[in-house]
Amino acid sequence: MSPAQRWPLHPAPKEGEALSSWLNRVANCYQMDMRELLEHDLGHDQIEDLDTAPPLPLLIALARRSGIEQDRLRCMSFAGWMPWLLDSLDNSVTSALETYVFQLSVLLPKGSRKTRSVKRWRAWLPMQQLRRACPRCMRESTEHALPLIWQLPLLLSCPTHGCWLEHHGGGTGTFMGWDDASCEQRQASAPISAMDRRTWEAFTTGYVTLPRRRVHAGLWFRLLRTLLDELNTPVSLCGSNGQTIRYVWERCGHPLRAGQSQWQAFEILADSVQLQMLEAAATAIELIESQFLDAAGEFAGLFVQEPQREFTNGLPVRVGFEEPANYWRKAAEAIEKAVLDARHNPETARSLFGLASYAQNDHDSLEQLRAIFAKVQIPAEFLSGVTRQILYRHVSPKGELRPDGEKLIKA
């Protein structure tokens, strides 16, 4: 093949770049539109399928013109990521959701969720293509290469710079400026950045390093998708584990289930809801890794360090010696769980108030305590009548009660 039959000048694809983005940059080198380049040089007039499933004749022609391996070109589309990222692009398989999402478990016990099926479902592919980019990446480079994974509701932030991905305008594979003209770089939280770096590691290396061990990218994508469905499970169907779901949502600061009243598959949800779901997933992973949340799922252990066994420092073993328990930490965790339950359970609220009011028998102290309960969002109506019951602990022999709760002393 002579040099004339190839593109003499073309930019090399960036790591993880979408096929449409690369072709758009190639077209710019020749002062051409991407559609014009495809029709004129390659005889292909469709650009909508470039990032999903480009036809084989197009990939063969691209490989001949560019000298880039056909397999690498195919991996610049979602078709090249089967069966790691998704099992199939065929959306006619009715059991696809059940196979992908309901075989694993992280937060909830295995088999505790109601299995579901959705017509025309494909893992991770949203109803409408997302157009998001990193403000810093776009500012620091004039090439504007767009990674394929930015089109999916899989990342919240840029794995390189740690800032939120923002919505932008433009056609397929092109960046034409921000939807919000005042768009500024926003730094993502540590849990979000950690989760997104793992997803990027899976996408670029095929593996993810977790605290327990390294796992295959296919397992990581399914674990993450399983976790998103668990967080979207109605609490009424979770039994005693419903408090775990509620706790994660309260810690991440979003409404329970991102405000959803009915179950829908993650891919069908509005993109704003998807982003809240992903943020909740990052929060859940951080809570499990810090061992602040005792998840009941079969694969939750992957997010916790393997405990050291049969370790010795060479010194004589002290028989019967045990590391002292951290009772203060256990007490603090128990109180935090009680406060969370008291926000929704009147009986727990009254019991907690009774415990907190021990040795506080004057009206002013109890009112201050009620103010503290209100500050942690425990409804005041749950404590109706409790103050009066406490004040009646100390009464005179005749049943007389002083405002400060002390006994009346008669001469």
Domain boundaries, the chain: 3-81, 101-303, 327-391
The encoded tokens of residue 194 equal: 């950690």
Q: Work out whether the CA dihedral 110, 269, 154, 68 comes out positive or negative.
A: positive
Helix axes 327-342, 242-252, angle to 10 degrees: 90
CA dist 68 and 256 (Å) reads 48
Percent of the chain at pLDDT exceeding 90:
57
**Alpha-carbon distance values, 58 to 31, 44, 135 (Å):** 21, 7, 32
Spatial separation of the C-alpha atoms in residues 60 and 310, rounded to whole Å: 57
**What's the CA dihedral at 401, 402, 405, 411 to 10 degrees?**
-90
Structure tokens at 158: 């840029």
pLDDT at 369: 84
pLDDT-flagged residues of the chain (< 50): 1-4, 394-411
Farthest CA pair distance, the chain: 119
Q: What is the pLDDT of residues 303-357, one digit of tens each?
A: 998 876 665 566 665 555 555 667 777 777 888 888 888 888 888 888 888 888 8
Q: What is the pLDDT of residues 285-307, one digit of tens each?
A: 999 999 999 999 999 999 998 87
Distance CA 323, CA 45 (A): 70
Task: Compute the distance between CA of residue 23 and CA of residue 318 in angstroms, rounded to an integer.
Answer: 68
| Run of H or E residues at 132 | strand 132-133
Choose among 217, 177, 169: nearest CA to 16.
217
Q: Residue 41: its pLDDT value, please?
A: 76
Cβ(228)–Cβ(281) below 8 Å: yes
The first and second tokens of residue 316, run together, are 């004589």
Angle between helices 271-289 and 217-231 (to 10 degrees): 110
CA-CA distance, 325 to 345, in Å (whole number)?
A: 30
